[in-house]
A and B are shown apart, each in its own frame.
Chain A
Amino acid sequence: MKTIVCIKYVPDTSEAEVKVNPDGITVDSSRFSFDINDADNYAVEESVLIKEAKGGEITVVSIGPKKSDVMIRMAMAKGCDKAVRIEDDRIAGHDPLMVAKVLAGAAKGEEFDLVLTGCMASDDGHMSTGVALAEELGVNHASMVKKIEVLDGGKIKVSRELEGGLMEVVELELPAVITIQTGINEPRYAPIRGIREAQKKELKVVKLDDLGVDPASVGPDASQIILEALYIPEVESSAEFIAGDPNEKAEKLASILVKGGLI
């Protein structure tokens, strides 16, 4: 099984204070820590588990700056074999369709049976890059996958997570793009010795021209999306503090929940 796994280097905004830059369309990332996108981490683990079970080769593809190399080396320490990092500031990165075109350009240069991506990026939350990538490549896809079973005859069976805990099981012919939901596995740790060993593996840094992708086709002018503004939502403060002893508090809380139709 030849697998491509697409990963994104994202800021951790869970605790840091987010400030919008004066340009109004970017955020100040100077105080953020960066790491692999959460869902992509599960995609990397899934690709390694498939390789461990079925053999094959894994290629990491990522669009990102030099400092994201540490994330790529970690994926290699876990078992990925080689990587392509696209560094080109002409890409309209805010538009998942443009990103998908670039990733497709990289994938077309590789042999593959399976492409894995995370189902969602934690920074922009579009949930569309993987699916758009399948369209660009002209292959099957399944999104929000929580289980992959490799079948004989160039097929896979996957379970898609729907709402309410429901799973949809679908069979796909390869090649296919699968977007991975968190929780499908437990991503392993990349020990430092493994990361050092991974320095020996091939990591190609390329520009759009190297991929044969026309910069004009993936730039801001080609994009149908114009990022107009970013802003911090206003904080609403309507917290009500319930007074009284524990019994009174519980009674009042229960009545609020009942009145509000919450239980």
Chain B
Amino acid sequence: MSAESQTFTERYDLLGCIQCGRCTGGCPVTVRANLNVRRFVNDAYYEEKLDELARQAEIWDCTACHTCAVRCPKGLKPLEVLLGLRAMIIESGKVEPTVRDALQSVLLEGNPWEKSRAARSDWMEGLDVKIAEPGVPVENLFFVCCTIAYDPRVQAIAKNIVRLLNKTGVDYAFLDDSETCCGSEVYTLGEEGLFEMLVEDNTEYFNEYSAKRIVTLSPHCFTTYNVHYPDLNKPVIHYTQLLDELLKEGKLVWKGDLPKKIVFHDPCYLGKQGGVYDEPRDLLKSIPGAELLEFERCRERSLCCEGGGGKMWVESESKKERLAETRIKDAKALGADIVAVACPFCVLTLEDAMKGLGYEEEMRVAEIMELLGEFIEA
């Protein structure tokens, strides 16, 4: 049965819900927004209410962190009801200009940042990067991610990976500027048609490459490929998994030390959704001198930074403290010098929060690859 011909109730298995409320109870955004996901799951059963539900501002507060899905005792994904309601608004075309421009940019330029496709590989300038060719065998085919490719704040993730790969002699190749958005945020913004198109086009694109596996730099791409691309002919891993393999094989040797207290923030798309918890921690522990701390809310209980779910393009109405600020305050209370993350969105949201709180002098937000980059032998 196609998605279009299913009713809302069938599509999201609404009758499977027992209304226990664990979803809303665990939802991190309830502390700052008026979002009650259990109630939406309940009310969406009534077809005649759907239009009204779709017009509720709080459907855009969901960050797609998947805490509700992790906690649901019935194995449902309550958040997807909200995404289904978003889809109704998208179909009407009457969306926030920021959302409109991001989605249109994905269609026209293959990225949500309104950047020219031709500039996608500009970050490679001055680096010795091996470029993949369809049909030419390679072990690790790297997918950079739109945000890392274009945002100068997080380009170091890709640059340092290249330096490290060249040093370790790993068989790898990067895609050129034909690389196109994975659609993670397109999916969560509810643009179902565009997402279907990306899945179709990207699957065909990847399947032409003779790679053993795809390695993504962002957890959003990692989870999106693993969950929503059933016809990819190769496995997809996150770069921390590859580096952890190299670490265990003794191929990563760091120069210098970092006598700092580092706390690792589990990105929702890597941990809760991807099940990758230990590899980033192992990498951080491998840095000489570094002491790894843990948030009280860590691993599957990690607090969302509010960077996912299309929230980079939708501002919440709530003026209450951002979750990223809560997270930074927690890190400060722990006495952390560095908040380490493994996701470009987490870097941007947590760093903004840190600057907003005025902790710039005493604290630092860094992506794992930014930290490791400082210890790669020349």
Interface residues of A (CB under 8 A from B): 12, 15-16, 30-35, 70, 74, 77-78, 186-196
A31→B116 contact, CB < 8 A? yes
A187 touches B107 (CB 8 A): no
Nearest-Cβ distance from residue A189 to partner chain B, whole angstroms: 4
The interface residues of chain B lying within 8 Å CB-to-CB of A192 are: 107, 191, 193-194, 196-197
Please, which residues of chain A bring their CB within 8 A of the CB of B108?
A: 33-35, 70
CA distance A249 to B117 in the complex (A): 42
Q: Can you report 24 residue pairs joining A to B where beta carbons are below 8 Å apart?
A: A15-B116, A16-B119, A31-B118, A31-B119, A33-B115, A34-B108, A35-B104, A74-B104, A77-B93, A187-B97, A188-B95, A189-B93, A189-B100, A190-B93, A191-B93, A191-B193, A192-B191, A192-B193, A192-B196, A192-B197, A193-B91, A193-B193, A195-B107, A196-B193
Whether A194 and B93, one on each chain, are in contact in the complex, defined by CB atoms closer than 8 angstroms, is yes
B193 / chain A contacts, CB cutoff of 8 Å: 191-193, 196
Give the nearest-CB partner of A188 in chain B: B93
Contact of B116 among A12, A74, A193, A194 (CB under 8 A): A12
- Assembly CA distance A15 to B90 (angstroms): 28
A91 to chain B, nearest CB (A): 25
Given contacts A189-B90, A193-B193, contact A33 B109 (CB under 8 A): yes
B185-217 CB contact bits vs A (8 Å, 1 = yes)? 000000111101100000000000000000000
Interface size on B, residues (CB 8 A): 26
The answer to whether B116 and A78 have CB atoms under 8 Å apart is no
Residue of A with least CB distance to B107: A192
Main secondary structure of the interface of B (DSSP, over half): helix
Please determine whether B94 and A191 come into contact, CB atoms closer than 8 angstroms: no
- Provide the bound-state CA to CA distance between A195 and B116, in Å: 21
* B303 contacts partner chain A, Cβ-Cβ < 8 Å: no
Nearest-Cβ distance from residue B1 to partner chain A, whole angstroms: 18
The distance in angstroms between the C-alpha atoms of A12 and B101, with both chains bound, is 13
Is B99 located at the chain interface by the 8 A CB criterion? yes
CA distance A196 to B92 in the complex (A): 15
Are B103 and A189 in touch, CB under 8 angstroms? yes
Q: Which residues of B contact A16 (CB under 8 A)?
A: 116, 119
Inter-chain CA distance A77–B119, complex, in Å, is 28
Flag if B104 contacts A33 (CB, 8 Å). no
Chain A nearest CB from B103 CB (Å) reads 6
CB <8 Å contact, A78 and B97: no
**Shortest Cβ distance from B198 into A: residue:** A192
Set of chain B residues within 8 Å of A12, measured between Cβ atoms? 114, 116
Cβ B197 vs Cβ A33 within 8 A: no
- What's the Cα separation between A186 and B96 when bound, in Å? 9
Q: Do A191 and B191 contact each other (CB < 8 Å), given the known contacts A33-B108, A35-B108, A70-B108?
A: yes
User: Cα distance A30–B109 when bound, in Å?
Assistant: 13
- For A14, give the chain B residue with the smallest CB separation: B114
Nearest CB to that of A35 among chain B residues? B108
Q: Is the CB of B117 within 8 A of A78?
A: no
A77 to B191, CA, bound (A): 14
Q: Give the distance in Å from the alpha carbon of A31 to the alpha carbon of B109 in the complex.
A: 11
CA of A186 to CA of B115, assembled, Å: 22
Cβ–Cβ contact A191 & B91, under 8 A: yes
A189 and B116 form a contact (CB under 8 A): no
Cα distance, A33 to B97, chains bound together (Å): 19
What residue in chain A is nearest B95 (Cβ atoms)?
A189
Q: How far is the CA of A187 from the CA of B100 in the complex (A)?
A: 9
Residues of B within 8 A of A30 (CB): 118
* Chain B residues within 8 Å of A187, by CB: 97, 100
Q: What's the least CB distance linking A135 to chain B, in Å?
A: 34
Q: Chain A: which residue is nearest B105 at the CB level?
A: A33
B118 near A191 with CB under 8 A, answer no
On chain B, the residues within 8 Å of A78 by CB distance are 93
Give chain B nearest CB distance to A232 CB in angstroms.
18
Q: Which residue of A lies closest to B118 (CB)?
A: A31
CB contact between B117 and one of A15, A33, A188, A194 (< 8 Å): that residue: A33
Residues of A within 8 A of B191 (CB): 191-192
Q: Give the distance to chain A from B120, nearest Cβ to Cβ, in Å.
A: 11
Option from A15, A74, A188, A193 in Cβ contact (under 8 Å) with B115: A15
- What's the minimum C-beta distance from B33 to chain A, rounded to whole angstroms? 23
Q: A35-B108, A70-B108, A196-B193 are in contact. Are A191 and B90 (CB under 8 A)?
A: yes
Q: How far is the CA of A30 from the CA of B194 in the complex (A)?
A: 25
Rounded to whole angstroms, the CA-CA distance of A212 and B118 in the bound complex is 39
Contact check, A191 vs B116: say whether CB atoms are below 8 A apart: no
The smallest beta-carbon distance between B307 and chain A, in angstroms, is 22
The distance in angstroms between the C-alpha atoms of A15 and B119, with both chains bound, is 10
A34 partner residues in chain B, CB cutoff 8 A = 108
Known A-B contacts A33-B109, A70-B108, A186-B97; the reply to A191 vs B115 at CB < 8 A is no
Q: How far is the CA of A191 from the CA of B190 in the complex (A)?
A: 10
The complex places the Cα of A193 from the Cα of B191 at a distance, in Å, of: 9
**In the complex, A12→B104 CA distance in Å?**
14
Task: Return the chain B residue nearest A189 by Cβ.
Answer: B100
Q: Which residue of B lies closest to A190 (CB)?
A: B93
Q: Which residues of A contact B115 (CB under 8 A)?
A: 15, 33
A193: chain B residues at CB < 8 Å are 91, 192-193
Report B176 CB to chain A, min CB distance, Å: 14
Q: How far is the CA of A30 from the CA of B103 in the complex (A)?
A: 23
Chain B 13-47 interface 0/1 with A at a Cβ cutoff of 8 Å (1 = within): 00000000000000000000000000000000000
